[in-house]
């Protein structure tokens, strides 16, 4: 493993942590205050909160798959030593 691959793994970890922090903030600052609480509010507010929360999860998974694909593609182009 050379430094380029190590930097790629470090970038994936950094992006994962940035997504976790940003999506947590978005959930706490934007989604949670939307409308009344789940058990008190109407069905539309509840559905909106659930859809937005699920969209955050799908976004996180999609970005992680994209990062994995980019890392795998960059790793595929380098020759490996045969032992």
pTM: 0.70
- Sequential DSSP letters for 11-75: HHHHHHHHHHHHHHHHIIIIITTSSS-TTTS-HHHHHHHHHHHHHHHHHHHHHHHHHHHHHHHHH
Annotate 12-36 with b (16+ C-beta within 10 A) or e (fewer): beeeeeebeeebeeeeeeebeeeee
**Residue 77's pLDDT band (boundaries 50, 70, 90)?**
low
Tell me the two tokens of residue 10: 């470090």
Domain map of the chain by residue range?
3-75
For the chain, what is the mean pLDDT? 83
pLDDT tens digits, residue range 13-45? 999 999 999 989 998 898 888 877 767 767 888
């Amino acid at each position: 493993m050379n430094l380029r691959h190590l930097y790629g793994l470090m970038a994936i970890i950094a992006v994962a942590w940035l997504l976790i922090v940003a999506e947590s903030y978005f959930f706490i600052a934007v989604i949670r205050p939307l409308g009344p609480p789940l058990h008190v509010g109407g069905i539309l507010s509840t559905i909106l909160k659930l859809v937005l929360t699920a969209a955050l999860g799908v976004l996180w998974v999609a970005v992680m798959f994209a990062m994995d694909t980019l890392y795998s593609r960059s790793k595929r182009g380098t020759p490996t030593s045969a032992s």
